[in-house]
Structure 1
Amino acid sequence: MILGRTLAIYFSARFFKSILGLFLLAAVLIFLFDVLELVRRGGDQEGFTVVRVALISILRVPLLLEQVIPFAVLFGSILAFVTLSRALELVVARASGISVWQFAAPAVVVGLIIGTLSVVAYNPLAVWLQHRSDEAAAGLFGSEQSFLLQTTQDVWVRQDGLDGESVLLAKQLLDGGTRLLDVTIFAFDKEGSFKERVEAATARLGDQIWFLEDVTVYTTERDPQQYGRYEVSTYLTATEVRESIGSPESISFWSLPRFIELARNAGLPAYRYTLQYQTLLARPLLLTAMIIIAAAVSLRVSRFGGLGSMILGGIVAGFVLYVLSELAKDFGGAGIVPPIVAAWAPGIFGVLMGLTILLKQEDG
């Protein structure tokens, strides 16, 4: 029996509502916890207001929620399957000759649509909002900003310049690697001897030079000196800075291919950014895997009951895929395995696992 158009639309709407409901619930919870954390850490900082912190959190929550999308699809699909089963709608559908593959098809279509839209539209919007959040938070959290905003890591970057080598640390990266916040530079002369330590509130990358503002210079020969502006030579480019300090998640889906090409042309490894690009491309497949797994763990409930076993099965399946994804990400980001393999393997594994369980349940 072929699933009718009206019934397919009805099932699709039920799945979409369940997934959207869990996604919005997760958004509210993340926002509340995020605001509380920002208030706790920034409450005594100059320029702090509750409205400003709430705005920062609202702007950065969408990017944080990207990690929740697969789990919202998994548990939303489980909820939809169980709700349809308890209302006897799936029972009636199966009694009329509709197979599990047919009533799961609308859910898979919904997953593919959500996955595609989350990549081509939601991700670029979330990254743009994250950049606005970074700008709104600039200077508010001081040295803790990188921890709070989670857009960069404390990475020491070695650079060379006309005046000699130096080592740079920045707490936050803005404007594609051309502007840094909370910068520390250890400078050495051409003979390799330590010359000075430079601490600056901001640094802007020009043509082979860092333009620093609000600077304190420490040397072994005199007391600390304050400067409104200061310059440090460098051969680094914006691409090299972003590759060393920036996070792949801070680049939108549409900008990743161009950045990967720039990194490769500069002779830099682009494993992390290639992995991020392939991971986004593979997201529709991963969401499809989540829906098939949800059907596998929910089908037995519709026949034999056992809500606790269903929830446990869904959690275990989600945990397995999460661990596999993280391991693949670590291997792919380090260049141990090809990024394309690391990105697509979790989705392929999830689909095969779900199909195997469904085939066993349906056909023995």
Structure 2
Amino acid sequence: MYMLRFFPSRTLALYMARMFLLRSFAILAALVLVLQTLDLLGESGNILAHPGNGDAALWHYVTLRLPQIVARFLPFSVLLGTLVTFVTLNQNSEVISMKAAGASAHQILAPLVVASIGIAATSFVFNERVVVRSTETLNAWQDADYGAIPPDRGIVRNVWVRDGDDLIEAQAAGGRGSGTRLRGVRIFERDGGRLVSILRADRGQPEGDAWRLSTARRFDVTTGKLSDAGSPLVAKEVKPEQFTLASVSPDEKSLGALRLAIADLSAAGRPVGALEAGWWHKIAGPLSSILMPLLGSVAAFGLARSGLLFVRAVIGMVLGFAYFVADNFALAMGNLGAYPPFLAAWAPFILFFLIGEAVLIRSEE
């Protein structure tokens, strides 16, 4: 019956989970402190170069950059926390005591896996509620050279769209579908690659399968004359999504918002493979914390006095870092279209889960 229990005992499970969590978050705090300091030192010159920026701007940068660093290095901290926990237990012969009491390797590992599931769930919520917003704000601030961020958030700026031989520029585009609105429109009307005229308008909005411009003026390149063009109907077959979804970053959108953007881009006939890989990775990424106890479990088994404990810890670290390398490589291949989106996000997780299980079963034998 003892072997059929998920945990060896409630007391032991709480003891191991607490030890694992304390070490993981202590390592995370140390990593974040060092990396945030180095990052701030490298970026402080650019921040303070903008007139009016001072200490408050530096602290504002820290609040925006900190969530990104936490999200990126949380799985590393879980891996290192696993290794430190298991090395400590092994050195104190606590693992041997648990196995002598009849606990299997999976039972010894179970408290850490359950704790890591909680970490993965917290990481997912943190990414969705905090990281995407801080990333969007920080990118907008950096695009403004650390100056004042334009107040109308959610607006795509400086969009270029091709309509046959003509080029369309919109200083700003916002909204969705028939509610899309353009501001500062310029249409470079060309004939055989030669610029003929420039049509300017303050605003534009969809009307049928074209766009209705307001207060338009046309500049004729040949004569050099500027004339009133009224409210012409232009750019037939140009879809609103070509303006509003000109640049979509998975890092700046939540799971639901990214899925909506993918659907709009797909309906507009735009390639969405890289975005779909990013969407799947928003789920697979936080789950990497669950793999870390499995990959680091190699440090838990084997006699400490055999002299191979350090080697086992190094093997566990190599397995963990190999997963991150494989994950980044697969995601890059997905962005290039070499891997299907689902495979790019989930193949490393499944592969290293099987590797971790094989190592754990081998250790138990």
TM-score by length of 1: 0.74
User: Residue 160 of structure 1 aligns to a residue in which SS?
Assistant: strand
The structural deviation recorded for 1:353 is: 0.8
Q: Does 1:193 align with 2:194?
A: yes
The structural deviation recorded for 1:12 is: 1.4
Rounded Cα–Cα distance in structure 1 between residues aligned with 2:143 and 2:248:
16
With over 3 angstroms needed to count, the CA separation of the structure-2 counterparts of 1:284 and 1:133, relative to structure 1, is: closer
Q: Does 1:324 align with 2:329?
A: no
User: Residue 189 of structure 1 aligns to a residue in which SS?
Assistant: strand
With over 3 angstroms needed to count, the CA separation of the structure-2 counterparts of 1:305 and 1:102, relative to structure 1, is: farther
The structural deviation recorded for 1:168 is: 9.0
The answer for the alignment partner of 2:351 in structure 1 is: 349
The structural deviation recorded for 1:205 is: 9.0
With over 3 angstroms needed to count, the CA separation of the structure-2 counterparts of 1:205 and 1:110, relative to structure 1, is: farther
With over 3 angstroms needed to count, the CA separation of the structure-2 counterparts of 1:242 and 1:314, relative to structure 1, is: farther
TM-score by length of 2: 0.73
Q: Does 1:80 align with 2:80?
A: no
* Higher CA-based Rg: 2
With over 3 angstroms needed to count, the CA separation of the structure-2 counterparts of 1:133 and 1:80, relative to structure 1, is: same
Q: Which amino acid letter does the alignment assign opposite residue 74 of structure 2?
A: I
Q: 1:53 aligns with which of 48, 55, 58?
A: 58
Residue correspondence of structure 1 range 98-109 to structure 2 within 5 A: 98-109=103-114
* RMSD of aligned Cα (Å): 4.0
The answer for the alignment partner of 2:144 in structure 1 is: 139
User: Residue 66 of structure 1 aligns to a residue in which SS?
Assistant: helix
Rounded Cα–Cα distance in structure 1 between residues aligned with 2:111 and 2:319:
21
Q: Does 1:67 align with 2:72?
A: yes
For residues 81-117 of structure 1, give each alpha carbon's deviation from its aligned partner in whole angstroms, at most 9, with x where no partner exists.
1122233332322221212210101111112221122
Aligned length: 323
The structural deviation recorded for 1:356 is: 1.1
The answer for the alignment partner of 2:312 in structure 1 is: 310
For residues 161-219 of structure 1, give each alpha carbon's deviation from its aligned partner in whole angstroms, at most 9, with x where no partner exists.
5992158999xx9999x99xxx9x9956354235899xxxxx999766999xxxxxxx9
Rounded Cα–Cα distance in structure 2 between residues aligned with 1:205 and 1:305:
74
User: Residue 106 of structure 2 aligns to a residue in which SS?
Assistant: helix
With over 3 angstroms needed to count, the CA separation of the structure-2 counterparts of 1:308 and 1:5, relative to structure 1, is: closer
2:87–2:299 Cα contact (<8 Å) kept: no
User: Residue 299 of structure 1 aligns to a residue in which SS?
Assistant: coil
Q: 1:260 aligns with which of 257, 262, 270?
A: 262
Rounded Cα–Cα distance in structure 1 between residues aligned with 2:339 and 2:244:
23
With over 3 angstroms needed to count, the CA separation of the structure-2 counterparts of 1:294 and 1:334, relative to structure 1, is: same
Structure 1 window deviating more from structure 2 (96-105 vs 66-75): it is 66-75
Rounded Cα–Cα distance in structure 1 between residues aligned with 2:97 and 2:76:
28
State, as a whole percentage, how many aligned pairs show the same letter: 24
Rounded Cα–Cα distance in structure 2 between residues aligned with 1:75 and 1:190:
63
For residues 263-310 of structure 1, give each alpha carbon's deviation from its aligned partner in whole angstroms, at most 9, with x where no partner exists.
222222221221122112223543222210100244246463445423
With over 3 angstroms needed to count, the CA separation of the structure-2 counterparts of 1:131 and 1:101, relative to structure 1, is: same
The answer for the alignment partner of 2:228 in structure 1 is: none
The answer for the alignment partner of 2:293 in structure 1 is: 291
1:264–1:270 Cα contact (<8 Å) kept: yes
User: Residue 46 of structure 1 aligns to a residue in which SS?
Assistant: coil
Rounded Cα–Cα distance in structure 2 between residues aligned with 1:78 and 1:71:
11
Residue correspondence of structure 1 range 72-221 to structure 2 within 5 A: 72-134=77-139, 137=142, 139-141=144-146, 159-160=161-162, 164-165=166-167, 189-193=190-194
The answer for the alignment partner of 1:27 in structure 2 is: 32
1:124–1:254 Cα contact (<8 Å) kept: no
Rounded Cα–Cα distance in structure 2 between residues aligned with 1:318 and 1:278:
21
Rounded Cα–Cα distance in structure 2 between residues aligned with 1:161 and 1:332:
29
2:160–2:243 Cα contact (<8 Å) kept: no
The structural deviation recorded for 1:340 is: 0.9
2:280–2:341 Cα contact (<8 Å) kept: yes
The structural deviation recorded for 1:357 is: 1.4
Q: Which amino acid letter does the alignment assign opposite residue 337 of structure 1?
A: Y
Rounded Cα–Cα distance in structure 1 between residues aligned with 2:31 and 2:203:
37
The structural deviation recorded for 1:316 is: 2.0
With over 3 angstroms needed to count, the CA separation of the structure-2 counterparts of 1:209 and 1:81, relative to structure 1, is: farther
Structure 1 window deviating more from structure 2 (36-45 vs 7-16): it is 36-45
With over 3 angstroms needed to count, the CA separation of the structure-2 counterparts of 1:30 and 1:190, relative to structure 1, is: farther
With over 3 angstroms needed to count, the CA separation of the structure-2 counterparts of 1:130 and 1:285, relative to structure 1, is: closer
The structural deviation recorded for 1:122 is: 3.4
Q: Does 1:44 align with 2:49?
A: yes
Rounded Cα–Cα distance in structure 2 between residues aligned with 1:295 and 1:174:
51
User: Residue 282 of structure 1 aligns to a residue in which SS?
Assistant: helix
Q: Which amino acid letter does the alignment assign opposite residue 166 of structure 2?
A: G
1:56–1:137 Cα contact (<8 Å) kept: no
Q: What residue ranges of structure 1 are gaps of 5+ in the alignment?
A: 146-155, 198-202, 212-218, 223-232
1:55–1:133 Cα contact (<8 Å) kept: no
Q: Which amino acid letter does the alignment assign opposite residue 316 of structure 2?
A: G
The structural deviation recorded for 1:26 is: 2.1
Structure 1 window deviating more from structure 2 (5-14 vs 284-293): it is 284-293
Rounded Cα–Cα distance in structure 2 between residues aligned with 1:27 and 1:326:
21
With over 3 angstroms needed to count, the CA separation of the structure-2 counterparts of 1:84 and 1:263, relative to structure 1, is: same
Q: Which amino acid letter does the alignment assign opposite residue 326 of structure 1?
A: N
Q: Which amino acid letter does the alignment assign opposite residue 325 of structure 2?
A: V
User: Residue 98 of structure 1 aligns to a residue in which SS?
Assistant: coil
The answer for the alignment partner of 1:249 in structure 2 is: 251
The answer for the alignment partner of 1:216 in structure 2 is: none
Q: Which amino acid letter does the alignment assign opposite residue 268 of structure 1?
A: R
